[in-house]
Structure 1
Amino acid sequence: MKVLVTGGAGYIGSVVAQQLLRADHEVIVLDDLSKGHADAVLPGATWHQGGLAEAAEVLDPSVDAVIHLAAKSLVGESVEHPERYWHGNIVASLGLLDAMRDAGVQRMVFSSTAAVYGNPITETIVEDHPAAPINPYGASKLAIDHMLTAEAKAHGLAAVSLRYFNVGGASDGLGERHDPETHLIPNLLKAAAGRGGTAKLFGTDYPTPDGTAVRDYIHILDLAAAHLQAMEWVRPGTHEIFNLGTGVGSSVRQVIDAVERVTGRTVPVEEHPRRAGDPATLVASGQKARDVLGWAPQHTLEDIIRDAWAHL
């Protein structure tokens, strides 16, 4: 297939593009480098530097599918500046859908988020869990999910939304290097390596066994595999949602312990109050993706940390 990857110079997008190329797909990367890196666009991919507003310039009937990863994705920023998320996620994605429709491209895999569920009311989240986002980031992604449902019904779009949780790890030189880095594992690793000062632990009074937030961590390679499987699976006129997760949650303190085991180093940590908009627990079942897509995670939390440590 000929596939457009929006945000393909970012962390997740670059690994998805890498796996597409390895599967002998033709890859076009559209990225404005606001968060991505030019050197993350791999040889073999065609790169167009630009935002989603430029999608019409690279879409034509020869494109078979779009994997839509470009987005603003910082929970804290979304609370402080929600307008950036209305424009950068909702309005921009509507423009992408318009460009796809005009070009006759009718297959999309969308990078959604577990943040659409807000504070879960069940221990493990399945796809029919009520969507009640507690921050503008999650609300913006949910709005795009609604767009895809309507687009599929009205115009025959074949769409899948992948709602996933905390992603980590690395793949052959491609790993996290956000600026600023807000993700837990790379910040813990930097602190362990003596390169990032003291790691920050946000919230020690959550209603969890050890008081710290619990998340479901998934390896970047498992995540990329799900995007490729979803792209092959999509059905015309339908919009399906799949949660991607291991079904096992790890608290921040448990992740700190795992980092110390893998690296053999002590992680200096300072405690801070909770961040606005952060739920206490987010754990996905992932069973629907297993049953329908044939997808299953192959990597453990220790694998994620080990690969990220090697990449650091």
Structure 2
Amino acid sequence: MKTLVTGGAGFIGSWIRRELLARGHQVLVLDHQDRRQQLADGEEFFLGDVRDHVAVTEAAAHVDGIIHLAAVLGTQETIHNPRPSAETNILGSLNVFEAAAQYNLPTVYAGVGNHAMRLIGTGCYTITKSAAEDLARMYNLYRDGGRITIVRPVNAYGPGQSVAAPYGTSKVRKIAPSFICRALTGADIEVYGDGTQISDCVYVEDVAHAFVTALEHTTVNEPTARPVEVGPLVSRTVNDVARLVAEQAAIITGREPVGIKHLPMRPGEVPNAVVSSDTQTLQQIGITAADFVSLEDGIRRTVDYYANHWLPSYLAA
């Protein structure tokens, strides 16, 4: 099976590509940045933007299925500049769904783990990603060729995730690299709010496994009746994540664990929010969160990765 992965050069996309190749599939990466030098055997690259319906339709003509990841991310970033996320996340998804319907392709769409927060106020990222879910449901119900399964991962983390300022060049701050880079350099971990909010994290390898399994399921079955929510069996607070990072960084550096510094919440963040997943929905594609990497093990693997691959170059700069 040859699979189109939109946004395939990104963090989650790179892990999904590995999973596809490991299962014997071929991969066509569609991305607006030329990353063909990163390709492995069994992969091809299509330079294009999901906002371009001609490019998307052309790419879809050469595959047997689609995993649609391409999106503009960020909470604060999409509040202050909402147009790019609206154009990419809604119009781009519409282009993918239309091309998939034209060629009758099984498709997996990456929904958003905090989808429920659109009802209580959040960034344009969540709003637009949730709007695309509504489009997916429309295609499944009313369009010939509508074969779209929605997969909603919570906060994916793991080796290779980009690092935001002041430690890297990414424009979007993600919880794991933000905490880890501070802890490894001896700075207190910054937590927005009191840290008691639930923001579940799931190891990226498990996310990739769920996406590819969902695509294989949708290839031979109807799309799942409910979105497949990918997350841990047991919810943890942001403070829990911060403490685990501090403890693992201390083991590596030989220093005392760094502290946790609480900052005011930013626009789009909701006090006492709960971002978690209904792991029972995984049964629709025949997997269980009981097999997922634990938060303790995942944090250990991820801190080790940044200690070995990020920290030396950062200290040398």
TM-score interval w.r.t. the shorter chain? 0.7 to 0.9
Q: Does 1:184 align with 2:175?
A: yes
- Could you tell me how far apart the structure 1 residues matched to 2:196 and 2:91 are? 35
Q: Which has the higher helix share?
A: 2
**Count of residues in Structure 1 that have an aligned counterpart in Structure 2:** 286
Unaligned runs of 5+ in 2: 164-169, 307-317
Which residue in 1 is equivalent to 2:198? Answer: 214
Q: 2:286 aligns with which of 293, 304, 310?
A: 293
Which residue in 2 is equivalent to 1:80? Answer: 80
Structure 1 counterpart SS, 2:265: coil
- Could you tell me how far apart the structure 2 residues matched to 1:288 and 1:50 are? 33
Opposite residue 137 of structure 2, the aligned amino acid is T
1:159-184 alpha-carbon deviations (Å, 9 max, x no partner):
111112111123xxxx1124135111
Which residue in 1 is equivalent to 2:309? Answer: none
Q: 1:40 to 1:247 in 2, by over 3 A?
A: farther
- Could you tell me how far apart the structure 2 residues matched to 1:66 and 1:108 are? 5
- Could you tell me how far apart the structure 2 residues matched to 1:262 and 1:84 are? 37
Q: CA deviation at 1:269?
A: 4.3
- Could you tell me how far apart the structure 2 residues matched to 1:10 and 1:37 are? 10
Which residue in 1 is equivalent to 2:240? Answer: 254
Q: CA deviation at 1:39?
A: 5.4
Q: CA deviation at 1:199?
A: 3.6
Query: Where in structure 2 are the equivalents of 1:1-312 lying within 5 Å?
Result: 1-33=1-33, 40-52=38-50, 53=52, 54-60=55-61, 62-102=62-102, 104-118=103-117, 134-153=122-141, 154-170=143-159, 175-178=160-163, 179-194=170-185, 198-204=188-194, 211-234=195-218, 235-236=221-222, 240-264=226-250, 265=255, 266-279=257-270, 280-290=273-283, 292-296=285-289, 297-312=291-306
Contact 2:226 2:281 survives alignment (8 Å): no
Q: 1:222 to 1:97 in 2, by over 3 A?
A: same
Opposite residue 77 of structure 1, the aligned amino acid is E
Using the aligned pairs only, state the percent identity.
26
Q: CA deviation at 1:287?
A: 0.9
1:8-47 alpha-carbon deviations (Å, 9 max, x no partner):
11000000001100111010001113xx965554343111
1:177-216 alpha-carbon deviations (Å, 9 max, x no partner):
2413511111111112218x55421112xxxxxx532211
Q: 1:273 to 1:231 in 2, by over 3 A?
A: same
1:70-111 alpha-carbon deviations (Å, 9 max, x no partner):
101201112112222211210111122223333x14211011
Structure 2 counterpart SS, 1:110: strand
Structure 1 counterpart SS, 2:227: strand
Q: 1:245 to 1:24 in 2, by over 3 A?
A: same
- When normalised by structure 2's length, the TM-score is 0.82
Which residue in 2 is equivalent to 1:208? Answer: none
- Could you tell me how far apart the structure 1 residues matched to 2:173 and 2:130 are? 22
Q: 1:133 to 1:22 in 2, by over 3 A?
A: farther
Q: CA deviation at 1:259?
A: 1.1
Structure 2 counterpart SS, 1:46: strand
Opposite residue 272 of structure 1, the aligned amino acid is L
- Could you tell me how far apart the structure 2 residues matched to 1:186 and 1:166 are? 12
Alpha-carbon RMSD? 2.3
Contact 2:74 2:123 survives alignment (8 Å): no
- Could you tell me how far apart the structure 1 residues matched to 2:121 and 2:279 are? 19
Opposite residue 43 of structure 2, the aligned amino acid is A
Contact 1:10 1:37 survives alignment (8 Å): no
- Could you tell me how far apart the structure 2 residues matched to 1:38 and 1:260 are? 36
